[in-house]
Amino acid sequence: MRVLLRALPSAPLSARALGVSPSTRPAVAAAAAAVLRRAASAPLTTYSGGQPYDGQGGFYGAIKSRSEKNAVFQPGSRAEPSDVDALQRLMDHWDAERAVLRNDSEERAAWRQLMQDATHRELLTRLVVKGAPVWGLTVEQREFVARFQATRD
């Protein structure tokens, strides 16, 4: 294993770097190919190690989210497409308005005025779950929602 770790930063992996003798290279190559074939055809569930009952391991799905038997989907934890569209329109409106502002005090006043609209507040409140932006938003959208959260508190 030390040979492998030393070989990683500078040299490509090769049988020589791994310490495999020329006589065993075909067997190692065949075994590696078999493992790769099995891995490619296996379902996308992996085990992370440790004991699941200790809370340090467990089975994970394709996107590495913990799979639990009693997991309950929380409505509202994902952004609805209509809310994402409305948020994007609000962000475009804010960007256009902010482009004509001259200083920070004008920007703060314009932001407060924008957030006084009840429909904007309702939209942005729907896009927050447990104090954080919901899933399904871009980075820019998450930052916009987070700014709303910060100024609301």
Gap between the Cα atoms of 103 and 106, Å rounded? 6
Residue ranges of domains in the chain: 2-43, 81-152
CA distances from 72 to 54, 65, 83, 121 (A): 21, 13, 23, 28
Q: How confident is the model at residue 7 (pLDDT cuts 50, 70, 90)?
A: very low
- Render pLDDT for 22-70 as a digit per residue (tens, 0 to 9): 777 777 778 877 776 766 655 555 545 555 555 555 555 555 555 556 6
pLDDT digits (tens, 9 = 90+) for 59-108: 555 555 555 566 666 677 888 899 999 999 999 999 999 999 889 899 99
